[in-house]
Amino acid sequence: MDGLSSAANVFGAIALTGSIVKICGSYITEAKNARDDIFTLQRSAAGLENILLSLAKILQGRGAMELSVSSNISDDIDNCISDLEALETKINPRQKKGVMRRFGLRSLKWPIQRPEIDRLVENLERYKSLFILSMQVDQTVLLTEVAQSLETSKDTINLDKLSVARGAEFDSFLDQHEQVCLPGTRTEIIDNVIAWATSPEERCMFWLNGKAGTGKSTISRTLAKFLKEKKVLGASFFFKRGEADRGNAMKLFSTITRQLLIHIPQLAPGIQKSLEADPEVACKSLTEQFDKLILQPLKSVKQAQLSLSKACTYHNMVIIIDALDECARDEDIRAILRLLPALQESEIIRLGVFITSRPELPTRLGFSQMQKLGYRSVVLDEVPWSVIQHDISLFLRHRLSEIGSDRNLPCNWPMESDIQSLVKMSTPPVYFCCYRLPCLGGPPMGPRRELEEAAHIPE
């Protein structure tokens, strides 16, 4: 018997278990002589009904023809139906219409004694075990085959065809000494982005924009560090103007693909298929690369495959693209922003994209075309000055504490009035043009002696 025929029989068994549960419910209401026995049988029938519903769902699924065990349990299903029919006939009050007419429903007594209840429950539990075992065996076989397929694909995929932009990935050797946000600073912005990154209901795009030195890259690194620890960072690309492969978009999608393959190995068959069809796809247009290396492999991932992944905590994954405005060609920036929203077409994995840039024309135009799709955004230039002062104060206290420790200065150095003076000196023009504090973003401060002199370090 094929899977569809088995499914039809299972629905017959489901109808019978439902009827038995309902009849038991009537006896519990009207009969008073054996409530514990009635409850016991009712619970066992309801449990079998739930197992049969799961079995029917599997047998109706797309892969039912491949489920050898579940598809060959027709004899067990037929036997189960026979036993359920006999039980329904025995307890159905309709079989006692004469008694009901003469004495009323309340005169009915539960027709099964305790020893027989034990035997019936044992029989129902046996069917439950048989059906559960068949489903477990099928799932194990299916998942093992998927795992083997993934391993084979990873072994055969030619990663040399996926060239990487060296130094573009978060935590790369070239950028290992770059700053992250000082704890306690930028908290509202970072919490906002993390909430977006880990929510399955949010829009797939987030744009953090601001002028030079407002902290975009520092926030990107802080976010990347957090998401990597939570195993939600799918990929990252940090553009940097004038630095070989990081200054243009030629290797953007192939670099992202290599990283996604590590965290979502279920992409391997789709990527392998694309590379076999066109070994030079990574050298084609941005549209071709995105479609063949990312979008189509992503859309081909199935739920059963994803359950094997040990790399991701959530079905949410995030791609970070930092300093998009430093990509050399304006046309490439607009193409990237036109392509990325298509990631939301994936039904199984939510890939969010976090982008930082200056609010320059190509980026503004790219995001303006997403108005219908929607995206989240934060403008760093609009952060209240009181918040910036708070963050600067934290940074100065932290840095001055390090200086004091290095020089064995008195524990009361610096004086609170000196710290407040430094905070006041950090007016917006100075902040944006000179210091560009690491706690807020941009490169580290200038020569350390400038800060030391400003803080009145004693001789």
Which range has the worst mean pLDDT, 104-118, 165-179, 375-389? Answer: 104-118
165/279 same-domain check: yes
Given 365, 380, 395, the domain boundary residue is: 380
Coil, helix or strand at residue 169: coil
Tens digits of per-residue pLDDT, 330-373?
999 999 999 999 998 887 788 999 999 999 999 999 999 887 77
252/293 same-domain check: yes
Tens digits of per-residue pLDDT, 267-281?
888 999 999 899 899
Q: Based on the number of CB atoms within 10 Å of its own CB, is 174 exposed (0-12), middle (13-18) or buried (19 or more)?
A: middle
Identify the pLDDT of residue 443: 41
Identify the pLDDT of residue 271: 92
In terms of average pLDDT, the best of 29-33, 95-99, 179-183 is 179-183
200/332 same-domain check: yes
Q: Which ranges constitute the DSSP H helices of 234-329? A: 252-263, 268-277, 286-289, 296-299, 303-306
Report yes or no on 459 lying in a domain.
no
Report yes or no on 35 lying in a domain.
yes
442/399 same-domain check: yes
191/322 same-domain check: yes
Identify the pLDDT of residue 93: 73
148/172 same-domain check: no
Q: Based on the number of CB atoms within 10 Å of its own CB, is 317 exposed (0-12), middle (13-18) or buried (19 or more)?
A: buried
pLDDT-based confidence at residue 405 (cuts at 50, 70, 90): confident
102/195 same-domain check: no
CATH for 224: 3.40.50.300
137/175 same-domain check: no
Domain count, the chain: 3
Average pLDDT for 395-421? 82
* Cα-Cα-Cα-Cα dihedral sign, residues 341, 188, 199, 236: positive
Ramachandran angles phi, psi of 438, nearest 5°: -60, -30
pTM: 0.58
Q: Which residues are 322's β-sheet partners? A: 238
Q: Which tokens go with 261?
A: 């393959």
315/190 same-domain check: yes
424/326 same-domain check: no
- Among the listed residues 409, 379, 413, 372, the one whose alpha carbon sits nearest the alpha carbon of residue 396: 413
Which of 330-334's residues contact partners 24+ apart within 8 Å by CB, and which partners?
330/361, 330/362, 331/362, 332/248, 332/249, 332/286, 333/249, 333/362, 333/363, 333/366, 334/362, 334/365, 334/366
315/444 same-domain check: no
Residue 235 scores a pLDDT above 90: yes
Q: Tokens 């996926």 appear where?
A: 162
Report yes or no on 446 lying in a domain.
yes
- Mean residue pLDDT of the chain comes to 79
Given 380, 401, 431, the domain boundary residue is: 380
Pairing of strands 350-357, 233-238: unpaired
Q: Which H or E run contains 321?
A: strand 316-322
Average pLDDT for 3-26? 82
Report yes or no on 425 lying in a domain.
yes
Residue 121 scores a pLDDT above 60: yes
Amino acid type, 430: V
Tens digits of per-residue pLDDT, 86-116?
999 988 876 554 444 444 445 567 888 888 9
Report yes or no on 341 lying in a domain.
yes
Given 356, 380, 404, the domain boundary residue is: 380
Look up the domain containing 429 and give its range: 385-454
Tens digits of per-residue pLDDT, 144-157?
555 555 555 444 56
Tens digits of per-residue pLDDT, 411-452?
888 888 887 788 777 655 444 333 344 444 444 444 444 455
Report yes or no on 320 lying in a domain.
yes
| Alpha carbons 433 and 366: distance in angstroms, whole number | 28
146/181 same-domain check: no
